[in-house]
Amino acid sequence: MKTSFEMKNKKLLEDLQENGLWLVMHPVQRMGWEADQMFPWLGAEMVRMSQRINYYLRPCHHKFIVINDDDRIISTFSKYPQIKSLLKLNRYCVKHNITKLIYTGFHYGICLLSEKHIGMEAIDIHNQRRPNAGVISPIYEMFVKRELTMVGPSADEDSWRSADYETGKFAQII
């Protein structure tokens, strides 16, 4: 028998799958020569996590990747549309009546927070400025699907705790 918490969480996830915008942050093929030398297993781990994210996002209606122009996308996400600017994010969300952003991807506690255009810190600033700026866009509610994130390659238990703490300032961890 499911508890009321489990049923509430299931309803939330169903709503987010249908009505939220899912962002896969920085699914890059390689982290660069230095990272490849220091963490030779990292590429395989990123591919594995990409496959997990892709499988989970199959029923989601609105999903994008966020990646820098000069980075190569992990092939798992080659057919996903890219979104790189707050303006494009706002246009898409207004058009589809979306107010919930769900973050997945790489470098939990770092890129998910600090990506310059669409990271949680940038969205938080947008949310604070939007009512006074006359901007036509939603105030976003942010979530992180923690099991679909990966911390940096040298992470330990404290890295996860720190990432949870910093993320909790901006988003609900689900």
* Domains of the chain by residue range: 22-28+38-156
Q: Is the dihedral of CA 89, 94, 95, 96 positive or negative?
A: positive
Which of the pair, 32 or 92, is modelled with greater confidence? 92
Q: What are the strands of the beta sheet with 172-173, ordered from one edge?
A: 62-66, 21-25, 100-106, 141-150, 172-173
The secondary structure element, H or E, covering residue 64 is strand 62-66
Instruction: Answer yes or no: is pLDDT of 38 > 80.
Output: no
Q: Is the dihedral of CA 71, 52, 140, 91 positive or negative?
A: positive
Whole-prediction pTM = 0.88
What distance in Å separates the CA atoms of residue 100 and residue 20, rounded to the nearest whole number?
A: 5
Reported as a pLDDT band with limits 50, 70 and 90, residue 159 is confident
Instruction: Answer yes or no: is pLDDT of 39 > 80.
Output: no
Name the CA dihedral angle for 156, 125, 28, 40, rounded to a multiple of 10 degrees. -20
Instruction: Answer yes or no: is pLDDT of 133 > 60.
Output: no
Residue 40 has φ and ψ, to the nearest 5°, of -60, -20
Reported as a pLDDT band with limits 50, 70 and 90, residue 155 is low
The secondary structure element, H or E, covering residue 62 is strand 62-66
Reported as a pLDDT band with limits 50, 70 and 90, residue 132 is low
Considering only 5-14, 54-63, 150-159, which range has the smallest mean pLDDT?
150-159
Instruction: Answer yes or no: is pLDDT of 91 > 70.
Output: yes
